[in-house]
Structure 1
Amino acid sequence: METRKFEGIRTVILDYDGTIHDSTKNYIFAFKQAYEYLVAGGHAASRVWQDEEITKWLGYSSQAMWENFMPDLDEEVRAHASKMIGRILLEKAQTGQAVLYEGALETLQALKEKGYRLVFLSNCSRAYMEAHRESFGLDRCFDGMYCTEDFGFIPKYEIFETIRSVFPGGYMVVGDRFQDIEVAEHHPVRTVGCRYGFGFPGELDSADALIDDIRDLNDLL
């Protein structure tokens, strides 16, 4: 792997789901529960879902997910279904059923020991972020933790302005979806795409580097 392009990096901004946390199983379960509610209420047709049809929504904020998935759904019904998914995911984290990718915490600790500042940035709610912070002791790894709910679910590239005002440059953004990589379209940052996450083929093509395991990040820096 080429490392020269990452010289001068001091702050590493990391996505969570699909980058550090393997949310596949829990999200699929939560999505199906919410969809069953929609079917039971006559708001959606019964159907069989393939896993990849569900996991493609990981990386989106809940607001953006529903706007793209079922934009014409009644707002009150949508809010209930969205809260169902959020509640189930929160319960999974609080009861020890969340799973990190193998080597994730060790990789984060290794980067901290090298002197990098690590920042958590996820399209999630504050309750979700706090549950995972507590479940995995993420304060040991991250110097700052940001969720898009605290910013009204604006894009990550806009939240970057806040992070830049607190943490030193140069910057690297690591994530599995276009929402992470597009930060580089607006700011002078380097990007690393995680092919093991939930992105579609080609979604990460503009990243400066691609990795197939979170542990590969330690080899880049």
Structure 2
Amino acid sequence: MNMFENVKTIFLDYDGTIHNSIKIYGNAFRKAYSYLVNEGVAPEKVWNDDEISYWLGFSSKVMWKEFMPNLDPNIIAKASKMIGKEMLRQINNGEAVLYQEAIETLRYLTEKGYNLVFLSNCSISYRDKARQTFGLDEYFVEMACSEEYEYIPKYEILSKLKKKYPNDMVMIGDRFQDIEAGKKNSILTIGCNYGFHQPSELDDADVRIDNIKELRNIL
């Protein structure tokens, strides 16, 4: 028996699942870090993409709490705003890249009649720019982001969202926050090996995929 055969609602993470976000996040992070160095609150350091990608999937609130918890809140606010503004600038310049076959897979799932729900630990402005740039309203019945929920954990947001949609459900993503969200809400999970997960983060996923197009064979 296919464990996914009765699924009607699919919750999808965005960065690292649909969007190859390191392409724009890496430079934005480095710009903000340079600002911290210039302010004298961080040591000089050359960051590579693998190091930076660790923070993809965290809400900005949690990211700063873990990354540099003792920073002045005003400096955090400026650096965070800098990252967001730089990412939006790159999206406007056409530098954002979705994973190959992402749109085709979203179209396939929509045509199959699934309720697709976007669920990301991102800001409203970032969500809206992604929606506009890639025409995501064509595929998603709802696009939820953590800023709308005051950056509470993703599993808590999912517990609110799932009440609106029919069972069975699946949560798809590349980070531990996604698998945790599914498990804590007693729904199926699919881990994306191609994203930005750290070792063992996806160990509890019900299924793991190496390419988003594999969803067409599972769902």
Q: Report the Cα offset of residue 60 of structure 1.
A: 0.3
Moved more, 45-54 or 103-112: 45-54
Describe the SS at the equivalent of 2:119.
strand
Counterparts of 1:85-96 in structure 2 under 5 Å? Answer: 85-96=83-94
Q: Does 1:155 align with 2:143?
A: no
User: In the alignment, residue 86 of structure 2 is paired with which amino acid?
Assistant: I
Distance 1:25 1:132 in 2: 14
Describe the SS at the equivalent of 2:189.
strand
Q: Report the Cα offset of residue 162 of structure 1.
A: 2.4
Alignment correspondent of 1:196: 194
Of 133, 136, 144, 1:135 maps to 133
Q: Any runs of at least 4 consecutive aligned residues in structure 1 with deviations exceeding 4 A, and if so which?
A: none
Q: Report the Cα offset of residue 133 of structure 1.
A: 0.3
Distance 1:199 1:192 in 2: 13
Q: Does 1:213 align with 2:219?
A: no
Distance 2:178 2:158 in 1: 10
1:7-27 deviations in Å (ceiling 9; x for gaps): 210000000000000011211
Of 8, 15, 18, 1:10 maps to 8
| RMSD (Å), alpha carbons | 1.0
Alignment correspondent of 2:96: 98
Distance 2:19 2:106 in 1: 12
Q: Could you tell me the TM-score, scaled by structure 1's length?
A: 0.97
Distance 1:167 1:94 in 2: 33
Distance 2:26 2:91 in 1: 15
Q: Report the Cα offset of residue 47 of structure 1.
A: 1.2
Counterparts of 1:39-188 in structure 2 under 5 Å? Answer: 39-188=37-186
Distance 2:105 2:127 in 1: 20
1:12-66 deviations in Å (ceiling 9; x for gaps): 0000000000011211100000000011110111011122110100000011001
Distance 1:86 1:143 in 2: 25
Q: Report the Cα offset of residue 166 of structure 1.
A: 1.5
- Over the matched positions of the two proteins, sequence identity in percent amounts to 51
Unmatched segments (≥5 aa) in structure 2: none
Q: Report the Cα offset of residue 115 of structure 1.
A: 1.1
CA contact (8 A) 2:170 2:182 kept: no
CA contact (8 A) 2:102 2:212 kept: yes
User: In the alignment, residue 64 of structure 2 is paired with which amino acid?
Assistant: W
Of 30, 33, 58, 1:32 maps to 30
Distance 1:174 1:200 in 2: 16
Distance 1:11 1:124 in 2: 21
User: In the alignment, residue 79 of structure 2 is paired with which amino acid?
Assistant: A
1:169-220 deviations in Å (ceiling 9; x for gaps): 1110000000000023321200000010000111100000000000011110
User: In the alignment, residue 211 of structure 1 is paired with which amino acid?
Assistant: I
Distance 2:183 2:134 in 1: 32
Unmatched segments (≥5 aa) in structure 1: none
Distance 2:95 2:63 in 1: 23
CA contact (8 A) 2:171 2:187 kept: yes
Q: Report the Cα offset of residue 161 of structure 1.
A: 2.4
